[in-house]
Amino acid sequence: MPELPEVEVTRRGIEPHLAGRIITGATVRNAGLRWPVPRGLGKTLTGLKVESVKRRAKYLLLDCGSGHLILHLGMSGSLRITDYREPAAYHDHFDLELGATVLRLTDPRRFGAVLWQRGAVLKHKLLRDLGPEPLESGFSGEALYAAIRKRGAAIKTVIMDSHVVVGVGNIYASESLFLAGINPKTQARRLGRKRCDELAGAVRTVLTRAIRAGGSSLRNYVQSDGSFGCFQIDCSVYDRAGKPCRVCSSPIRQIVQGQRSTYYCTKCQS
DNA sequence: CTTTAAACCTGGTCGC
DNA sequence: TGCGACCAGGTTTAAA
């Protein structure tokens, strides 16, 4: 279930268990993720200290001084803190070991990634060309307006383009457009400055709200199974096809854009 | 440069 | 109960 809020909540959950700890080993049970897990990764990592856990887009970056361990959860991945006595299950593909503590990656669909980058992590091919973080100052109505001037594609697909802004996945794309009152089929370049302001604001609001929903369970943060960020915000439109709009009661419509489902209210989003 | 479709995988659900 | 079709929260890649 990883969209940006889930990844951020996971980051906050794992960092206290990792920061300042020495890596004692790593176990790769299945190297066949989105890209092959690098050979000899355990040897590369052993003895290094995890300085901090950062996030860029939906990538988690474990700063190990001389390099970074890059983790991505794909569509079905999750991380949890457990210990070495816990037997690994079928989809537990990767363990990072820090003494008795284990950071364990579970990912049934194996769209996730475990990579190693020496030196400057932001120069990695996957991170190099990413657009601004939605919750930082680089993303604004002004920046959005400038970025989409020449885009004739539908705003729903453009807002999910990581060159425009990172971290807006399929759920929160629909939710943000609903909050901004913008029809997802609108050509991106047709949006004026004001609507870009509204959309940028909506993206920030929706993501912040979702992080807070996960963060609010921070107290009981580590679930009984050790996983993080187990939360479900109730959506305004996503997965609500045919159900009444929570604002105007007209039925939520589902369409397909760029091979993904989009949900919107035909009345509220003109 | 922009846009589109296919690809990587497994698992759950639905209709017959 | 079984089976096929279809769907799913991401992102790269190639091709148009």
Regarding whether A236 and A155 lie in a shared domain, the answer is yes
Are A160 and A93 contained in the same domain?
Answer: no
For strand B, is any atom closer than 7 Å to the CB of A32?
A: yes
> Helical H runs in A189-234?
193-215
Task: Scan for tokens 């912040």, then name that residue.
Answer: A208
Residue A267 clears pLDDT 90, i.e. is over it: yes
In a domain, A134, yes or no: no
- Condensed to tens digits (0 to 9), the pLDDT of residues A162-195 reads 999 999 999 999 999 999 999 999 999 999 999 9
Question: A219 lies in a domain?
Answer: yes
User: What distance in Å separates the CA atoms of residue A70 and residue A261, rounded to the nearest whole number?
Assistant: 29
> Given this model, what pLDDT does residue A218 score?
42
Which residue has the closest alpha carbon to B7 C1'?
A34
| A231 Cβ contacts chain B strand, under 7 Å | no
Residue A214 confidence (pLDDT): 80
Closest amino acid to nucleotide B2 (CA–C1'): A151
The pLDDT of residue A231 is 57
Contact flag, residue A260 CB and nucleic strand B, below 7 A: no
Report the C-alpha gap between A69 and A67 in whole angstroms: 7
**A118 and A146 inside one domain:** no
Q: How many domains does chain A have?
A: 2
Summarised one tens digit per residue, pLDDT across range A61-98 is 999 999 999 999 999 999 999 999 999 999 999 999 99
The domain in which residue A15 lies consists of 4-123
- Nearest nucleotide from residue A257 CA, by C1' atom: B4
**pLDDT value, residue A226:** 67
**CA A2/CA A168 separation, integer angstroms:** 11
Q: Which nucleotide is nearest to A150 (CA to C1')?
A: B2
Question: Do A102 and A145 sit in the same domain of this protein?
Answer: no
| Residue that terminates a domain, selected from A123, A153, A171 | A123
Residue A27 pLDDT > 60: yes
> Considering A95, A123, A151, which residue would you say is the last residue of a domain?
A123
Judge whether A132 lies within some domain: no
- Please indicate, yes or no, whether residues A155 and A111 belong to a single structural domain of this protein: no
Residue ending a domain, among A96, A123, A150, is A123
Q: Does residue A150 share a domain with residue A119?
A: no
Any domain includes A100? yes
Give the bases of strand B that a protein CB approaches within 7 Å. Answer: 1-11
CATH number of the domain within which A155 lies: 1.10.8.50
Same domain, A175 and A207: yes
A47, pLDDT greater than 70: yes
Query: How many Cβ atoms sit within 10 Å of the Cβ of residue A6?
Result: 22
Q: Are residues A69 and A163 in the same domain?
A: no
State the average pLDDT over residues A105-129. Answer: 95
Cα–Cα distances in Å, from A82 out to A14, A88, A95, A98, A130? Answer: 11, 10, 10, 11, 32
Q: Is the pLDDT score of A196 beyond 60?
A: yes
- How many residues are there in chain A? 270
Report residue A220's pLDDT band, with 50, 70 and 90 as the boundaries: very low
In a domain, A130, yes or no: no
Give a yes or no: residue A136 inside a domain: no
Q: Closest CA to B4 C1' — which residue?
A: A258
- Is A233's pLDDT higher than 90? no
Q: Which of residues 89-118 of A touch strand B (CB under 7 A)?
A: 90-91, 108-111
CATH number at residue A114: 3.20.190.10
CA of A262 to C1' of B15 (A): 24
A260 and A146 in a single domain? The answer is: yes
Prediction pTM value: 0.95
Rounded to whole angstroms, the distance from the CA of residue A154 to the C1' of nucleotide C14 is 22
The answer to whether residues A102 and A161 belong to one domain is no
Q: What is the mean pLDDT of chain A?
A: 93
Residue A253, domain member (yes or no): yes
| Residues A152 and A256 reside in one and the same domain | yes
Quick check: is A61 in a domain?
A: yes
**Minimum-distance nucleotide, CA of A152 to C1':** B2
The residue among A29, A33, A3, A36 whose CA lies nearest residue A111 is A33
Residues A91 and A30 in one domain: yes
